[in-house]
Amino acid sequence: MRNAFIKAVYEQAGKDNRVYMLNADIGVFVFDDFKRDFPKRYINLGVAEANMIGVAAGLVLSGKVPFVYTIAPFVTMRCLEQIRVDVCLQNLNVKIVGVGAGLAYGVLGPTHHAIEDIAIMRALPNITVISPGDPWEAYEATKASVRHEGPVYIRLAKSGEPSLVEHRHNAFQIGKGVTLREGKDATLIATGCMVKNALCVAQKLFCEGINLRVINMHTIKPIDHDIILESARDTGAIFTMEEHSVIGGLGSAVAEVLAEESTEKVQFLRIGFKDTFCEVVGSREYLLAKHGLDVPSVSKMVANSLRGSPVQ
Amino acid sequence: MTLHLDKKPLEQDLTVVDLKKLAYRMRRQIIDMAVSAGGGHIAPALSAVEILISLYFRVLRINPEDPQWPERDRFILSKGHGCCALYAVLAERGFLHRDALKTFCQDGHAMGGHPEYGKIPGVETSTGSLGHGLSIAIGISLAAKNDGNTCRSFVLLGDGECNEGSVWEAAMSASQFQLDNLVAIVDYNKLLATGFIKDVMALEPFAMKWKSFGWEVREVNGHDINEVSRTLNEVPFAEKRPSVVIAHTVKGKGVSYMENNPVWHYRLPNKEELLQAYKELNEGLQSLT
A31 assigned to some structural domain: yes
The per-residue pLDDT for range A33-88, each reduced to its tens digit, is: 999 999 999 999 999 999 999 999 999 999 999 999 999 999 999 999 999 999 99
Q: Is the same domain home to A179 and A141?
A: no
For residue B205, whether the previous peptide bond is cis, meaning omega lies within 30 degrees of 0, is yes
Q: Residue B76 has what pLDDT?
A: 98
Partners of residue B125 in chain A, C-beta under 8 Å: 57-58, 61, 86, 90
Q: Is the same domain home to A136 and A253?
A: no
Tell how strand A128-130 and strand B74-77 pair up.
Answer: unpaired
For residue B115, whether the previous peptide bond is cis, meaning omega lies within 30 degrees of 0, is no
Q: Is the same domain home to A128 and A22?
A: yes
Q: Residue B3 has what pLDDT?
A: 39
Q: Is the same domain home to A95 and A190?
A: no
A311 assigned to some structural domain: no
Q: Residue A312 has what pLDDT?
A: 57
Where does the pLDDT of residue B13 fall: very low under 50, low under 70, confident under 90, or very high at 90 and above? confident
Q: B142 vs A58: CB contact, 8 Å cut-off?
A: yes
Q: Is the same domain home to A123 and A15?
A: yes
**Is pLDDT above 90 for B7?**
no
| ipTM score assigned to the predicted complex | 0.94
Q: Is the same domain home to A137 and A32?
A: yes
From the number of C-beta atoms within 10 Å of its C-beta (0-12, 13-18, 19+), residue A106 rates as buried
Domain closes at, from A156, A185, A215: A156
Where does the pLDDT of residue B281 fall: very low under 50, low under 70, confident under 90, or very high at 90 and above? very high
Q: Which of A238, A268, A50 is nearest to B170 (CA)?
A: A50
> Furthest-apart CA pair in chain A: how many Å?
60
Is residue A191 a contact partner of residue A250, using CB atoms and an 8 Å limit? yes
Chain B closest-CA separation from residue A43 CA (Å): 9
Q: Is the same domain home to A196 and A238?
A: yes
A164 assigned to some structural domain: no
Which domains can be identified in chain B, with CATH numbers?
16-287 (3.40.50.970)
Chain A closest-CA separation from residue B57 CA (Å): 24
Domain closes at, from A105, A131, A156: A156
Is residue B84 a contact partner of residue B104, using CB atoms and an 8 Å limit? yes
Q: For residues B156 and A280, what is the distance between their CA atoms, to the nearest angstrom?
A: 47
Which domain does A202 fall in, by range?
A: 173-306
Q: List the CATH number of the domain containing A145.
A: 3.40.50.970
Q: Which of B34, B28, B120 is nearest to B77 (CA)?
A: B120
Q: Which residue of B has its CA nearest to A40?
A: B146
Share of chain A above pLDDT 90, in %: 93
Q: Residue A160 has what pLDDT?
A: 86
**Mean of the pLDDT values across residues A186-202?**
97
For B169, the closest of A40, A50, A57 (CB atoms) is A50
Q: Residue A168 has what pLDDT?
A: 64
**Mean of the pLDDT values across residues B67-93?**
97
Kindly report the backbone phi and psi dihedral angles of residue B129, in degrees, each rounded to the nearest multiple of 5, phi listed first. Answer: -85, 130
**Is pLDDT above 60 for B10?**
no
Is residue B234 a contact partner of residue B226, using CB atoms and an 8 Å limit? no
Q: Is the same domain home to A211 and A286?
A: yes
Q: Residue B79 has what pLDDT?
A: 98
Q: B124 vs A60: CB contact, 8 Å cut-off?
A: no
Partners of residue B138 in chain A, C-beta under 8 Å: 51, 54-55, 58
**Is pLDDT above 60 for A303?**
yes
- The DSSP code for B42 is S
The per-residue pLDDT for range B140-159, each reduced to its tens digit, is: 999 999 999 999 999 999 99
Q: For residues A128 and A224, what is the distance between their CA atoms, to the nearest angstrom?
A: 12
The per-residue pLDDT for range A123-155, each reduced to its tens digit, is: 999 999 999 999 999 999 999 999 999 999 999
Where does the pLDDT of residue B12 fall: very low under 50, low under 70, confident under 90, or very high at 90 and above? low
Q: Is the same domain home to A7 and A151?
A: yes
Q: For residues B253 and B233, what is the distance between their CA atoms, to the nearest angstrom?
A: 24
**Mean of the pLDDT values across residues A203-213?**
97
Is residue A249 a contact partner of residue A119, using CB atoms and an 8 Å limit? yes
For A54, the closest of B117, B170, B176 (CB atoms) is B170
B150 CB neighbour count, 10 Å cutoff: 11
Q: Is the same domain home to A102 and A144?
A: yes
Q: How many domains does chain A have?
A: 2
Q: A82 vs B135: CB contact, 8 Å cut-off?
A: yes
Q: List the CATH number of the domain containing A254.
A: 3.40.50.920
Whether A39 contacts chain B with CB within 8 A? no
Is residue A21 a contact partner of residue A41, using CB atoms and an 8 Å limit? yes
DSSP per-residue codes, B130-175: TT-HHHHHHHHHHHHHHHT----EEEEEETGGGGSHHHHHHHHHHH
Domain closes at, from A156, A191, A211: A156
Q: Is the same domain home to A126 and A214?
A: no
Average pLDDT, chain A: 96
Q: Is the same domain home to A181 and A291?
A: yes
The per-residue pLDDT for range B234-262, each reduced to its tens digit, is: 999 999 999 999 999 999 999 999 999 98
Question: How many Cβ contacts (< 8 angstroms) between chains A and B?
Answer: 94
A166 assigned to some structural domain: no
